[in-house]
Amino acid sequence: MPQKFTLTNQSNHLLFSLSEPRARRLTAKKYGLSSGCIPLLAGLVFRAEQRLSTRPRDLYLAEVVNEKLARLYLRELIGAGFAQISPYRGCRYLRPTLTGLGVAAYYAREMRTGAKEFLKF
């Protein structure tokens, strides 16, 4: 009889780190984006779901990519309509659009699918 085991939080994190690159490539290909845009969009959606305001500087400081690339990717996300800038009292704030939320949901779904497929081996 096969031995059953439960996944700990650490195991889940390791499992998702295996499935993340594939999910990022598939999502970027489906929506016509650079694959580096996807983690920035995921961070933006996460902060929005936590009811946190996000300035471009916050994404630069997260150091997901270097600042030059982050600027390029944000420009691409805004141009594609997945994020928008809202000026308020002299500051620029980023927020995901409804289609951007859909892209992030697809990305998360692909990560879960990849993790489940890896567990089948």
At residue 4, the pLDDT reads: 59
At residue 80, the pLDDT reads: 95
In this prediction, the residues of the chain whose per-residue pLDDT falls under 70 are 1-7, 121
- Cα torsion at 110, 114, 115, 116 (round to 10°)? 100
Query: Tens of pLDDT along 36-52?
Result: 999 999 999 999 999 99
Residue ranges covered by each domain of the chain = 20-120
* Tokens matching residue 50: 């936590």
Architecture of 20-120 per CATH? Orthogonal Bundle (1.10)
15, 115 contact by CB (below 8 A): yes
At residue 117, the pLDDT reads: 84
Query: Tens of pLDDT along 88-98?
Result: 998 999 999 99
At residue 104, the pLDDT reads: 96
